[in-house]
Structures are given as C-alpha cells and as structure tokens.
Chains A and B, each alone.
Chain A
Amino acid sequence: MEFTDAQIQRYSRHIILPEVGGKGQKKLLGAKVLLVGAGGLGCPVGYYLAAAGVGTIGIVDDDVVELSNLQRQIAHSTNTIGMPKVESAKRTFEALNSDVNVVAMKGRLTKDNITGIIEKYDLVIDGSDNFPTRYLVNDACVLSRKPLVSGAILRFEGQVTTLIPYEGHCYRCLFEAPPPPGLVPSCQEAGVLGVLPGVIGALEATEALKIILGQGELLKNALLIYNALSASFRKVKVPRNPKCPVCGENPTITELQDYDAGYCQMG
C-alpha cells in the first residue's frame, strides 16, 4: 500500500522514528488487535491504538454505558449513556481515525466462542474487570499460542504484564487459580481512582504496539506494578512455572472451562 497525503501527515511523528518508520506504520495499519472489555482499561487502550492507526480493533463487551462509568471510561460520554459500550467505543475510535475498522461484539466471551474469536486477531489485550474472564482469556491465549497483554486495576494500584505463550510466563504461572469469590472485593466496593486505568491502559497499548512493531523489550516474565499514591513503579520478575496447570510440562488444563461469574455482581 502507498500512504495518502493525509496518512503521511497523521502518522508523521511515527514515520520519523527509526524504530517505526513507514514500514512500522504499515505493520500497524495491517494489525488486528482484540480488546476484551470496553471499560476503564479498554477505553484508553482502544483510544491510543486507534490514534496509532492499528487497522482492525475488535472489542468484546456485554455492558451498556452508565453514568457511573464516565469518571474513568473515556471513550464513552454523557450522550452515549444506555448505548452498548462496544458501539459507543466504536463511534469514538472511528471518529478519531477513519483508517481504523472497529469490530463491535456485544456479548460475553465463553469457552465455546473465545477460540473462534481470538484466532482472527494477532494479539489480545485483556481489560476485563473480573477473574472468570481473566482466566478464560489466559487459558485460551495459551492454548491458541496468542500473545496477550494483561492489565488490572484496583483503588490506586495497577499492574501490567505481557504473556507470550510457551516463551514466557502465563497468568496461571503467577496465580494458579482464581481466588474464591468471597475473598475478592467487588468493583463497586473497591473503588478506583479515575485516572488509574488511563495509566495502566496506556502501558498496555504501549506493549501492544511494541509486539506489532517487533521493537523493544516486552513485559515477558515480568509484572509492572504502578502505585499512584506513592508515585512509584516496581518491576517484578515472574518466572515461568514448570508446574503451571496450563503452560507447564504436564498441563492439567487442556481444554477451556467457564468459571462462576459470581465475583463482581454485589452492591
């Protein structure tokens, strides 16, 4: 493909970077990224990927926009309250950049549909807010050998990690199984500083762009933890676990399962 004059202007600050250039920009325009969730994390991730010219962005989310989302979910607005989040986000991202095709999928990922969905994408970004989805996405990406960038936020702290299946760790190498529902604070109980998903989402988007461009060092075998109150980052090494139930030497999870969705519904 040849760039149009408008694309040369739009992506000029990418093209002049030696690590990106016209070649890298074409990789971005040809890339397909799946976003799990159009909430606190999915909004900034998708926003920056759209600005960067990632050509295809798939988004899966089952919710509609509510007023209480707008303190942090920046792709939505007062005007889209009541609209499916995937539709609201699609409008925002395509308005920012018409080079981007947003595939809006209203619904939930399940053990039966996830493999068919992720196989159409080059990589997956998890911005989900619950453990059942987080573990399902992890297991599906490992079994499909699909790179996964994973982020999580709570109150004033967030974390990011990048999973390259069988090369680096996976989420279960870190935490073998989801915690029991009673021990996990629900989103409504926990609260989150509105800007925090912006920080963590921007870090997730950065990892995704590096994967597409083949540049830099990924958060492979590492977890980056950000604390907003102490204004500090910590990078923790996460070795691959040979006994990991999904990516270890003798895996016990060889097919997908759904977990109870009983985590985040109280309040």
Chain B
Amino acid sequence: MPEEVSNRMEVEQKKNLDIRGLVCPYTFVKAKLAIEDMELGGVLEIVLDYPEAVHNIPKSMQDHGQKVLKVEQTGPKEWVIVVRKEKD
C-alpha cells in the first residue's frame, strides 16, 4: 500500500548537527561521524558558517556514497546542507 510506504518514510531517522564555528577539515569530520552513527535512509541536517565547507561537505559526502538533498543559504553567513545516508 502506498500509504504505508509514505508512513514509513515519516519515521525515518532525522538528526541535526550544528557545526557553526568549525573550519575544515573538522566540518567534514563532524558531519561524517554524525552520519556514521545513523541508520541507512536517515536524514542529517547540517548548519554551518564556514564558506569553503559549503562546497566541500557535499562533494565529500557524495564521494563517500551519500545523497545530498539540499544546500541552502539561510543567512548572510549561514548555510544548511541536508544529506541522506545511503551507504554504511
């Protein structure tokens, strides 16, 4: 049933990670550690303020087999990256 499927999507694990104030490579190190601890299919929302990492984190996440769902600027010096875990 399609409804059941969408219900299951609802309970997918979500996690927030605030790495404002961190610089490379610790931005990615923290993000990677957070995603390692999640279930497959879980969604991680990362808030950051280090401009270089806005490009680096999505690229590294993709290299490691994860799916980048969104990269969005949310303030003059603030971004949100949303990643779904697709690989252990």
CB–CB B30/A22 < 8 A: no
CB–CB B29/A16 < 8 A: yes
Decide if A23 is an interface residue (CB 8 Å cutoff): yes
Decide if B28 is an interface residue (CB 8 Å cutoff): yes
CB–CB A16/B30 < 8 A: no
Option from A12, A16, A21, A23 in Cβ contact (under 8 Å) with B60: A16
> How far is it, in angstroms, between the C-alpha of A22 and the C-alpha of B64 when the chains are bound?
13
CB–CB A18/B64 < 8 A: yes
CB–CB A8/B26 < 8 A: yes
Decide if B36 is an interface residue (CB 8 Å cutoff): yes
Decide if B25 is an interface residue (CB 8 Å cutoff): yes
CB–CB B64/A12 < 8 A: no
CB–CB B36/A12 < 8 A: no
CB–CB B29/A8 < 8 A: yes
CB–CB B36/A9 < 8 A: no
> How far is it, in angstroms, between the C-alpha of A22 and the C-alpha of B29 when the chains are bound?
9
Contact indicator per residue, chain B 24-36, by CB within 8 Å of chain A (1) or not (0): 0110111011001
> How far is it, in angstroms, between the C-alpha of A23 and the C-alpha of B64 when the chains are bound?
14
Least CB distance from A53 to B in Å reads: 14
Least CB distance from B85 to A in Å reads: 13
CB–CB B26/A22 < 8 A: no
Q: Which residues of B contact A21 (CB under 8 A)?
A: 32, 36
Least CB distance from A17 to B in Å reads: 10
Contact indicator per residue, chain A 120-154, by CB within 8 Å of chain B (1) or not (0): 00000000000000000000000000000000000
Main DSSP-derived SS at the B contact region: helix
Decide if A3 is an interface residue (CB 8 Å cutoff): yes
Interface size of B as a range: 10 to 19
Residue tally, chain A, CB below 8 Å to B:
11
Q: Which residues of A contact B65 (CB under 8 A)?
A: 18
Least CB distance from A28 to B in Å reads: 15
> How far is it, in angstroms, between the C-alpha of A159 and the C-alpha of B28 when the chains are bound?
38
CB–CB B30/A8 < 8 A: yes
Option from B26, B32, B33, B64 in Cβ contact (under 8 Å) with A9: B26
> How far is it, in angstroms, between the C-alpha of A22 and the C-alpha of B26 when the chains are bound?
13
CB–CB A16/B36 < 8 A: no
> How far is it, in angstroms, between the C-alpha of A9 and the C-alpha of B33 when the chains are bound?
12
CB–CB A8/B64 < 8 A: no
Least CB distance from B48 to A in Å reads: 16
Q: Which residues of B contact A81 (CB under 8 A)?
A: none
Q: Which residues of B contact A114 (CB under 8 A)?
A: none
Identify 28 residue pairs between A and B in the complex whose beta-carbon atoms are under 8 Å apart, listed by A's number.
A3-B33, A8-B26, A8-B29, A8-B30, A8-B33, A9-B26, A12-B25, A12-B26, A12-B29, A13-B25, A15-B29, A15-B32, A15-B33, A16-B25, A16-B28, A16-B29, A16-B32, A16-B60, A18-B63, A18-B64, A18-B65, A21-B32, A21-B36, A22-B32, A22-B33, A22-B36, A22-B37, A23-B36
Task: Please give the residue numbers on chain A whose beta carbons come within 8 Å of chain B beta carbons, in ascending order.
Answer: 3, 8-9, 12-13, 15-16, 18, 21-23
Task: Please give the residue numbers on chain B whose beta carbons come within 8 Å of chain A beta carbons, in ascending order.
Answer: 25-26, 28-30, 32-33, 36-37, 60, 63-65
Nearest 9 interchain pairs by C-beta:
A22-B33, A12-B29, A22-B36, A15-B29, A18-B64, A12-B25, A21-B36, A8-B29, A16-B29
